[in-house]
Amino acid sequence: MLKFLWVLSLSSLPQFEAELLTDRKISTEAEALSAMREIHSLGVEKVILSSAELKKNDVTTLVALASDKSGAAYRIEIPLLPVAFVGTGDLFTALITAWLERTGEERVKLSRP
């Protein structure tokens, strides 16, 4: 399957799929970014890690990470709730894909109400 990744311009995947593709465990942001660079090396222009539970200073946070082949990377921290949701990754991917198609920008400006 990996030999076909070069045809993708965008890969949006959760943590466990990135771990399967790269055959490595991801538990920190540095490990996540390293795995994303490996996916870039397979030919994928934009990589989005849609949800990853990462540890920093013994605290687990839920983050979304995006990067492109130039090395630019973006991070969004998401509140970690003690519940399981179904379909949110698909919705996230649809919204990000629409944003990229409409604007061409990876960076999403966030604001609080």
Contacts of 80 (CB under 8 A, 6+ apart): 53, 60, 61, 62
pTM: 0.78
Which three-class secondary structure state does DSSP give residue 54? strand
pLDDT in tens, 22-80: 999 999 999 999 999 998 988 888 888 988 989 888 888 889 898 888 888 888 888 88
For range 82-88, the mean pLDDT: 83
| Percent of the residues in the chain that have a pLDDT greater than 90, as a whole number | 20
Would you call 90 a catalytic residue per the annotation?
A: yes
Locate 46 and state its tokens.
């934009």
List C-alpha distances in Å: 66 to 36, 49, 52, 58, 59.
9, 6, 12, 23, 21
pLDDT of residue 2: 55
Query: Which candidate in 23, 58, 68, 90 is catalytic?
Result: 90
The reported pLDDT for the residue numbered 96 is: 79
pLDDT band per the 50, 70, 90 thresholds, residue 110: very low
Q: Quick: pLDDT tens for 2-17.
A: 555 555 677 788 899 9
CATH 3.40.50.720 fits 2-103, yes or no: no
